[in-house]
Amino acid sequence: MADAPSIIFVDDDPNVLSGLRRRVRAKRPNWRLQFCDNGEEVLNLLQSRHSVDVIVSDMRMPVMDGAELFRKVSRLYPEIGRILLSGYADEHANLLGTSATHHFLMKPCDDQSIINAIERALILRSYLRDPYLLGVMSCLPGHYLWPTAFRNLQTTLYHEGPISEENLSHYAMDHRECVTFIQRYARREGLIGENSTATLHHLFEVLGIESVKALALLFEIYGNGDITVAENDPELIRALIMAEIAARIGRHENSEFENIDASRAASLLAHIGSKLIETVLPNQSMTARHIADKNQCDIISAEIDVMGISHAGLSACMAALWSFKHEIIEDIAFHHRPESAPTGRSSTLATVYAAQHFAREYGRSGRLVKEKYPLSERYLATVGIGEKWTAWSNIARETVRLHEMR
């Protein structure tokens, strides 16, 4: 049992814990389950000795609610999966909780939904322990691991308690160019007016927490804190176009706001691993690209052959380090090979896959890369989007056209 997954359930209602203990043990007898009735007990367990893979917590608890617990866990034990259950009707309360949460489930939810969320967390946790990936991460300079603007945003969101407009205003004053960069992206999508100077709080409301976090990261990693450098980097421009396509497809499908946020953020971060690999392994990265071009094979295969890792794997590993949601980490990890993802019919992964395909097809090098990345008709049929493809393609073509006019 030493290697069995370790899960902690937290709820101040003993009847809820009793029911979970009985039902989850019956369905997953190999899991090591622990049950706590308050957040302080969880923190004491973690501090003492316990190796824990996933925590599942209720939101509403006295003294320390689930949001506060997860803010503390994210700071002290960022590798632990965090799943929040909430019955709140208050959207602001949910926003506070999900900022430090990998997965969010609205109560009432059935046992299988909870088990599925835990299993996704466990699969991704195992995937992201690859020693080659961890080796590359250990060589990254500090300003790539924790860029200043992003680190300060994390502190504001996770560690200072409830998010207030005052805290966000202070952040915006300290990081004006970063916030301007995020505003300009929001204008691209038509989410704020051309002359709007939307507050950071409003940007969270129209883009979502995950997208704002991802944009802050890109600003620093590609632009090194300089908005002119950022907006002229071709790889960053590609990421912005891909994200915009994903978001516009999501809105066309009337997707939930959280799903649009997730697919946009995953699209923004999907290729950040390429930038980081070029920093740590420049010669091997160049060799992999040369092999992919020469042999007309996909870049993932070439990267793994040359380095033992792929940019998708490193992007996902970094997204986990940066506490993005499990859904986003999965979408990043499998954006080239969605049929291999543990969640077989993820709508957000399908959107990210489509956005990447269209960004290639309608980009300047579309004709050159199309043969290297044939469309997976089988995957499209599996997720049921084959009939939507033409409409999505038109959305993407128009998005690229608008970008070229700007």
Question: What CATH superfamily is the domain 133-405?
Answer: Hypothetical protein af1432 (1.10.3210.10)
**Sign of the alpha-carbon dihedral angle for 334, 335, 337, 341:** positive
Report the distance separating Cα 322 and Cα 240, nearest Å.
19
**Residue-level pLDDT at 378:** 84
State the pLDDT confidence band at 89, using cuts at 50, 70 and 90.
Answer: very low
Q: Is the pLDDT of residue 7 over 50?
A: yes
Rounded average pLDDT over 40-52: 88
User: What phi and psi, each to the nearest 5 degrees, are found at residue 128?
Assistant: -85, 5
CA dihedral 30→31→33→39, nearest 10 degrees, is 180
Strand partners, 7: 33, 54
Report the distance separating Cα 308 and Cα 68, nearest Å.
39
Least confident segment among 8-17, 248-257, 270-279, 321-330: 321-330
Q: Tokens 């792929």 sit at which residue?
A: 310
Model confidence, pTM: 0.80
Rounded average pLDDT over 136-153: 86
**Residue-level pLDDT at 90:** 44
Rounded average pLDDT over 39-48: 92
Distance set, CA 52 to CA 5, 33, 56, 231 (Å): 8, 10, 11, 41
Residue 136: both structure tokens together: 């590359």
Residue 316: CB atoms within 10 Å: 29
Strands 32-36 and 6-10: parallel
Q: Is the pLDDT of residue 245 over 90?
A: yes
Percent of the chain's residues with pLDDT above 90: 44
State the pLDDT confidence band at 365, using cuts at 50, 70 and 90.
Answer: low
CA dihedral 9→11→14→15, nearest 10 degrees, is -90
Rounded average pLDDT over 89-109: 62
3-class DSSP state of 49: coil
Residue 280: both structure tokens together: 């740590």
**Sign of the alpha-carbon dihedral angle for 235, 241, 245, 247:** positive
Please provide the CATH number assigned to the domain covering 6-127: 3.40.50.2300
Which residues of the chain form CATH 1.10.3210.10?
A: 133-405
* Burial classification of residue 405, based on how many CB atoms lie within 10 Å of its CB (0-12 exposed, 13-18 middle, 19 or more buried): exposed
**Residue-level pLDDT at 1:** 47
Cβ 272 vs Cβ 150: under 8 Å: no
The residue count for the chain: 406
Which residues of the chain form CATH 3.40.50.2300?
A: 6-127
Mean pLDDT of all residues in the chain?
A: 86
